Amino acid sequence: MLAVAAVAFGAGLIRGFTGFGGPAFILAILTLFFAPVSIVPKILVVDFFANVYLFKASLKQINWRATLSMVIPTMIFMPLGHWLLIELDPAWMKRAMALIISTACVMMLIGYRYKHPMTTGWLVFVGICSGIVFGGTYIALVAVVFILLGPYDKNDGRTLIVSWTFFTVVGFAVISAVSGTTGMHDITIALPGAATYMLGAWLGTHGFRKSSEKLFRRAAITILLALSIVNLVS
């Protein structure tokens, strides 16, 4: 309980500032000591309330067409990823995803960005891939990479990440409850972590509002690269 609470505070800072990365930060550290299938339900509880808070704060800025184009296919394919979490060893998926994300981070660091916002077709494709990965690992980094590689400014990019993540987390919570992978034991252990995570998310959000575009992108890419490397070698 104490370990989850301590890790959750740092994860909350990341989640509040960038709009993503909190669950992946927790998973990257705790999977060094525990099986992913036992950690994911606790991360769900820790992240849920902060997810609602961030969504509410971004509500007026949401691009609903882009958000729903990603959310709907994500919801459809998320059960497949959740089945993989329960039935298969998720290590191969985590490492494959980490390798892809590391490559994308290097592209971002050298300045590559595609010039136009993603079309509806690309948003659907990203939603499918993200649904499978998110359902199996509770990590949203696939969607984040595609968004950060685009021409979105810090507000539009973060808002799209936050809005997609909100609906995805709610959907994952329903699937996890129905499948029985999240129970009262997970909630009890994770509640102190949820409190410290919320505090970190609140502080991170205030830091985002004061940050520059350049600082935001550097922080987001650095966090992505660090998380992907940890997941690749762990």
| pLDDT tier, 201 (very low <50, low <70, confident <90, very high otherwise) | confident
- Let me know if 40 is exposed, middle or buried by CB neighbors in 10 A (0-12, 13-18, 19+): buried
Q: Which tokens sit at 196?
A: 């410290």
In degrees, rounded to 5, the angle at the alpha carbon of residue 149 between the alpha carbons of residues 144 and 151 is 115
Residue with tokens 């993200």: 130
Q: How many domains does the chain have?
A: 1
How many helices and strands in the chain, by DSSP H and E? 10, 0
Q: Cα dist. 167→101, 105, 170 in Å? A: 22, 25, 5
* 137/175 Cα distance (integer angstroms): 13
Q: Share the mean pLDDT of the chain.
A: 80
Per-residue exposure over 169-189, b if at least 16 CB sit within 10 Å of its own CB, e if not: bbbbbebbeeeebbeeebeeb
Q: Each residue of 132-159: pLDDT tens digit?
A: 887 776 677 778 778 877 888 878 888 9
Question: Once rounded to an integer, what is the mean pLDDT over residues 62-78?
Answer: 92
**Confidence label for 65 from pLDDT (cuts 50, 70 and 90):** very high
pLDDT for res 8: 84
> CA 31, CA 12: separation in Å to the nearest integer?
18
**98 compared with 175, residue with greater pLDDT:** 175
Q: pLDDT digit string (tens) for 210-224?
A: 888 778 777 777 877
What pLDDT was estimated at residue 101? 65
Q: What is the span of the domain harbouring residue 94?
A: 2-233
Compare 22 and 131 and report the one with higher pLDDT.
Answer: 131
Q: How far is CA 108 from the centre of its chain?
A: 18
Instruction: Give the single-character DSSP code of 61.
Output: G
Q: Output the pLDDT for position 128.
A: 92
* φ and ψ of 116, to 5 deg: -120, 150
Task: Decide if pLDDT at 121 tops 80.
Answer: yes
- Write 63-67 long-range contacts (CB < 8 A, 24+): 63/156, 63/159, 63/160, 63/163, 65/120, 66/117, 66/118, 66/123, 66/160, 67/160, 67/163, 67/164, 67/167
C-alpha to C-alpha distance for 66 and 117, rounded to whole angstroms: 9
Which pLDDT score, from 0 to 100, does residue 68 have?
93
Mean pLDDT of 82-105: 68
Residue 131 in contact with residue 80, Cβ under 8 Å? yes
